[in-house]
Amino acid sequence: MHWDHIVTNGHIVTSTSDFVANIYIKDGKIAAISNEALDGEAKEVTDAAGRYVLPGLIDTHVHSRDGGATHKEDFFHSTQAAAAGGITTIFEMPNTNPTINNAENFHKQVENLLPKAHVNFGLWGICLGDVNINDFKGLHQAGVIGFKYFWGYAVHKQTFQLQYNYSENMDDVFPPCSDGEVYDMFKEVAKTGQTIAIHAENSELINRLTSQAKFEERNDYHAFLATRPNLAEELTIQTGIAMAKATGARLHILHVSTAEGVELIKQAQLDGYPITAETCPHYLFLTNEDYKNIGPSMKVYPLVKYKKDQDRIWQGIMEGTISFVCSDHAPHTEEEKSGDLHSIPAGMCGVETLVPLMLNEVSNKRISMKQLVCLLAENPAKQFGVFPKKGAIQVGADADLTIVDMDKKSVIKREKLHSKSKVTAYDGFNIQGMPVQTIVNGITVMKDGTIQSKPVGQCVTPVHNNL
């Protein structure tokens, strides 16, 4: 037998088991798993002795800016950053130019991204209300990973960038959708059986409070938090859950940032509704108190909030209310992130630091390696209909593997990030436990922090039984 790649002696970890064995890869798939050596030669052999071999890790929430604002980031760099951080698959958000608002643009984006993809990728479709509700079926059939609704935001008609703090005198924008439009969108997505994911912030409340804060000329982080309070997330999650209950939609709450949000989601799950949630490292590792040391790079939407919220989010992870952790990688340039706190854009790099930060919590014994596999591989793969092709180590699965060294210590340094932008809140963070090899479709893309291959990623689409 001629194997393409053999990974030997690794400590394999899944959500339910851990054992030492060899993995044999052929034609991009896992062809055999054995604790005894099998006959045959291989093009590549990786000795993983003393290291953990995980199912290829997934980041479900990435803004690579390609096409569109590629001066901030592009897919070539974002997928290098993903591979450097131990990620084998990313799900790309749809507010690009052209945006993923119909099947034609879905296929155009796949064609655009494939030559640049160092890791595998799925594409979200965007919900724009009546503007594209008749395209949802086509997007579903084309292969979107799910549907994203930026609740309460206007969207620019030409660039499809989000327009914060909408007012009626804005030109050339799609205004925020009415609740009636949102209800219809939930119904239409429910027909597909796919997930509708929402950015949950009440824009009317935020706009009102923001105008008052500017009038009072307050610009510190405490005052900024007062313009985007916990109530803004709580109100929208309440409405989203009510819409999901009424329509049967599978609702996913993006980047949960509040204790109130976790409580609402937990209760909906206890009531038997298919409501799921994610959170991000900035809500797990930062609080409002960190702004004085970190500064504007910490500005994200929803805002990083209080210690009580951080504690409840961690509890939500441990009890299973929150299904997975993702980066919300949303880079901006240094120049764009310098200035007035109200006016600078929200977002920072995250795809390369997601896994190291979470591995450090394994070292700290806050979570187990099995829990990490659930949070970063198995749960997202199941949520979006790509398991066990992704998120699993078993015969027949795609040969996506993340190899980690839990003895390796490192310091996150902004200048070493592979993204175009180097804006991160984690500069100087000490880490124990690092991804040391990223294998995508059987091919080593990253080893010991260095990119080893040309783009080899493929587009990932879910298995559908609807429509």
Task: Pick the last residue of a domain from 383, 418, 435.
Answer: 383
DSSP category for residue 256: -
Q: What kind and span of H or E run contains 121?
A: strand 120-126
| Beta pairing class for 29-34 and 57-62 | unpaired
Same domain, 288 and 422: no
Report whether 106 contacts 143 (CB < 8 A).
Answer: yes
Sites in the chain below the pLDDT cut of 50: 466-467
> Do the domain assignments include residue 270?
yes
- Return all residues near 91 (Cβ < 8 A) that are at least 6 apart: 58, 59, 60, 61, 62, 121, 122, 123, 124, 145, 146, 380, 384
Number of domains in the chain: 2
Which of 103, 107, 75 has its CA nearest to residue 91?
75
Same domain, 190 and 168: yes
Q: What's the gap between Cα 235 and its chain centre?
A: 23
Same domain, 363 and 413: no
Residue 319: CB atoms within 10 A of its CB come to 11
Q: What's the gap between Cα 77 and its chain centre?
A: 16
> Do the domain assignments include residue 388?
no
| Beta pairing class for 195-199 and 250-253 | parallel
> Do the domain assignments include residue 463?
no
What's 28's domain CATH number?
Answer: 2.30.40.10
pTM of the model: 0.97
Distance CA(208)–CA(210), nearest Å, equals 5
Task: Pick the last residue of a domain from 383, 410, 442.
Answer: 383
Residue type, 447: K
What's 173's domain CATH number?
Answer: 3.20.20.140
**Residue that has been written with the tokens 């027909």 in this structure:** 191
> Do the domain assignments include residue 62?
yes
442's torsion region: left (phi>0), alpha (psi -120 to 50) or beta? left
HSE at residue 21, side-chain half, CA atoms within 13 A, is 18
Backbone φ and ψ for 250, nearest 5 degrees, come out as: -85, 105
Cα R_g (the chain), whole angstroms:
21
> Do the domain assignments include residue 66?
yes
Task: Pick the last residue of a domain from 353, 383, 413.
Answer: 383
Same domain, 252 and 123: yes
Enter the tokens of residue 65.
């800016």
Same domain, 329 and 439: no
| Beta pairing class for 162-163 and 154-156 | antiparallel
Same domain, 140 and 241: yes
Report whether 405 contacts 430 (CB < 8 A).
Answer: no
**pLDDT at residue 176, as a whole number:** 87
> Do the domain assignments include residue 409?
yes
**pLDDT at residue 140, as a whole number:** 98
Same domain, 339 and 237: yes
Q: What kind and span of H or E run contains 224?
A: helix 221-227
Domain carrying residue 321: 57-383
Same domain, 84 and 46: no
Same domain, 247 and 306: yes
> Do the domain assignments include residue 106?
yes
Residue 37: CB atoms within 10 A of its CB come to 10
Same domain, 362 and 314: yes
- Return all residues near 377 (Cβ < 8 A) that are at least 6 apart: 54, 55, 56, 57, 58, 390, 391, 392
**pLDDT at residue 181, as a whole number:** 96
| Beta pairing class for 146-150 and 41-47 | unpaired
Distance CA(226)–CA(74), nearest Å, equals 34
Same domain, 128 and 237: yes
> Do the domain assignments include residue 351?
yes
pLDDT in tens, 195-213: 999 999 999 999 899 888 8
**pLDDT at residue 154, as a whole number:** 83
Same domain, 420 and 278: no
Enter the tokens of residue 25.
């890869």
